Amino acid sequence: MTLVTQNRHADTTAPLLDALVARWSPRAYDPTADVPTETLKTVFEAARWAPSANNVQPWRFVVARRGTEGFAKVHDALLGFNKTWADSAAVLVVNLAEVVDADGNPRPWARYDLGQAVAHLTVQAQHEGLHTHQMGGFDTARIRDAFELDDRLEVVSVTAIGVLGDAATLPDALREREHAPRVRLPLEELVTVAA
């Protein structure tokens, strides 16, 4: 396995946790690298300990390792250029929100809670030396059918997890994105300090 260490660290205006500085969303993954089961467990344990409204923990995950039928099902459902790069990831995860409780009552915070759990997962994965890339570009109906999902579950996103690969293996348009500057809105635009 070639160790690729492309530094895409965030140019922060205040000191952050190492994993937050180092996290970014690559599209080049090492197609030969697997994630050890223990590491995968650690990553989902981080998701498990995310906060949620009333502690209902409405996040559910379908985890598919490269080379399995499940992985092929998730990969088949990806749209556009996501299909081009995501096949090299070690794991594809379908992120599900249980948007209705067992009595049929809506859970207004379920998607928000799932997002927090996925955020925990991405930071822990980074800490474990992995990278993650979330996706909204997929065919929901295809994933629902493939995994015969319960009506109470909503497919919100898909996350690729893997070991960073060589950007040179990507098609031109995607390779350029691997090196494009990482930008963010200024903090002053995001935060209003109430008087």
Ligand X SMILES: Cc1cc2nc3c(=O)[nH]c(=O)nc-3n(C[C@H](O)[C@H](O)[C@H](O)COP(=O)(O)O)c2cc1C
Q: For ligand X, which is the closer residue by CB, 41 or 182?
A: 182
The total of other beta-carbon atoms located within 10 Å of residue 38's CB is 9
Stretch 83-142 residues interacting with ligand X (CB under 6 A):
134-137
Categorise residue 144: left if φ over 0, alpha if ψ from -120 to 50, beta otherwise.
Answer: alpha
Which C-beta is closer to ligand X: that of 40 or that of 86? 86
Q: Which is nearer to ligand X, 135 or 143 (CB)?
A: 135
Residue 104 Cβ vs ligand X, minimum distance, rounded to whole Å: 27
Smallest gap from residue 28 Cβ to ligand X (A): 12
Binding residues with ligand X: total (CB under 6 A) = 9
- Closest to ligand X by CB, 146 vs 155, is 155
Contacts with ligand X in 152-191 (CB under 6 A)?
157, 182
Sequence-distant (6+) residues with CB within 8 A of 134 are 25, 95, 118, 122, 157, 158, 159, 160
- Tell me: does residue 24 bind ligand X (CB under 6 A): yes
Site string for ligand X, 25-64 (x = CB under 6 A): x---------------------------------------
As measured in angstroms, the least distance from the Cβ of 193 to ligand X is 25
CB of 161 to ligand X, least distance (A): 13
Distance CA 48, CA 41 (A): 10
Using an 8 Å Cβ cutoff, are 94 and 62 in contact?
Answer: yes
- With respect to ligand X, which residue has the nearer C-beta, 25 or 52? 25
Q: Which is nearer to ligand X, 17 or 41 (CB)?
A: 17
- Rounded distance, CA 43 to CA 195, Å? 40
Given the rule CB under 6 A, which residues bind ligand X? 24-25, 82, 134-137, 157, 182
